[in-house]
Amino acid sequence: MFFASERDTLNYARDKAQELFEETGQKPEIVSSNNLSVFFSELGQAFRLILEEKEILFFAMLQWLVIALAYLVWTQMLDWIPDEVWRQVSKKDNKISFTLLNLALTGWSFLVVMVASYPLSLLNAAITAVHYLRSAGRRSTIAACLSYAYRNLPRLWAFTTIDAWITVNAILDRMPRKNSRRTAADEALYYAWKIGTLGVVPALTAGKGFFDAAKDSVAILVAHPFRAIGVRMGYSMICWGIGILAYAGGLSYAMTSGHAAGSTNGIYNFYVLLAVPIVFAVGVTAVLVRPLYLVVVARLYAEVVPVADQAAVPADNRKADIAGVIFAILLCALLAFYWFGDQLGLRGWIESLAARDMRGVDGSR
């Protein structure tokens, strides 16, 4: 669908992870004391590096800010959707699919994810670069890390967008709702992707292409299957715990906080009010957990693949500059839609799509 060629290439790592699960009998279990133990056992050196290199926390806090802003921008379209649509959706006997409206919401969601993925990919790579620079005996500064990360940014941006889109869809599929169709097979495929692509970010940061990055990621899984699965699933378990607490706290907060100022749209109100616990949970994950995970994965990658050799691969600055131009255009478009959506006619367009969806269903009866 989006970035199909790159995703197909990276699916090699996902498929290899599935094969490993079948051969070894290991399963990507979320609730596992063994996985959690492995994750915490790997944190010692990562924690020391973060204490010594404060720029890691700076990059992590910027990630927190990016995700928080992206979430708030995403909620804007929910306010454009007419209240009548939400009333129809909430009816128990509702059979309206809202196909056109779903396509518009999917497009808006993907635009937000793609724009947010640009700075997130740069910051992920910058955190990874801290470990690489320190390992090479070079000074790790904010400028040096960002420069190191920027040289391979187009591929990193593509991967982060793909991975973020897969993650967002998985989160939405898991939300309690009627007619949920997510299965155990879907979960297994999702975690095969997450575990299989464990080493893609450090590989791309070091200068690899997509297929070589996928092969390097598989090499980590083959060389250290217990550690690789434990690190990834232990990290997922912590994120799950934080997410569940945030969702429970968000429900409680939404039920006691009334409506968001200036809106009567119930769904929009709910998601805006959820911003407080969600942003808090993202902050805990982005600042306290994810930097440790990225450093651990970078160290695990460097144990299997000689990073010094890969760091010599020349960067294509022209492609990086083109990616920057594309990002700037997308960001300007997103902000224009966000701030001037009514003036640009987006609200009216969304209302017309909703009306066409409902007329189409009524006409077919």
Q: Where are the domains of the chain?
A: 4-363
Q: Each residue of 221-272: pLDDT tens digit?
A: 999 998 999 999 999 999 888 888 877 777 776 667 655 544 556 677 777 7
Residue 69 vs residue 138, higher pLDDT: 69
- For the cut 50, the answer to whether the pLDDT of residue 216 exceeds it is yes
What is the predicted pLDDT for the residue at 365? 46
What is the predicted pLDDT for the residue at 314? 47
- DSSP-assigned letters across all residues of 159-202: HHHHHHHHHHHHHHHHS--TT----HHHHHHHHHHHHHTTTHHH
Nearest to 270 by CA among 286, 287, 256: 256
Q: Which residue has the tokens 């497009």?
A: 107
0.85 cut: is pTM over it? yes
Residues near 208 by Cβ (< 8 Å), separated by ≥ 6? Answer: 216, 310, 313
- For the cut 60, the answer to whether the pLDDT of residue 92 exceeds it is no
Mean pLDDT in residue range 124-140:
90
Q: Each residue of 161-191: pLDDT tens digit?
A: 999 999 888 877 766 555 556 677 788 889 9
Mean pLDDT in residue range 6-22:
91
Q: Which residue has the tokens 């930097």?
A: 291
3-state secondary structure (DSSP) of residue 216: helix
Q: Each residue of 303-338: pLDDT tens digit?
A: 998 875 445 444 556 666 888 999 999 999 999 999
Helix 290-304 and helix 43-52: axis angle, to 10°? Answer: 110
3-state secondary structure (DSSP) of residue 364: coil
Confidence of residue 79 (pLDDT cuts 50, 70, 90): confident
Residue 96 vs residue 34, higher pLDDT: 34
Q: Percent of the chain, pLDDT > 90? A: 48
Rounded CA separation 12/196 (Å): 8
Mean pLDDT in residue range 288-308:
90
Rounded CA separation 91/313 (Å): 57
Amino acid at position 173, single letter: D
Confidence of residue 25 (pLDDT cuts 50, 70, 90): confident
What is the predicted pLDDT for the residue at 102? 87
Structure tokens at 285: 């994950």
Q: Percent of the chain, pLDDT > 70? A: 85
3-state secondary structure 274-294: CHHHHHHHHHHHHHHHHHHHH
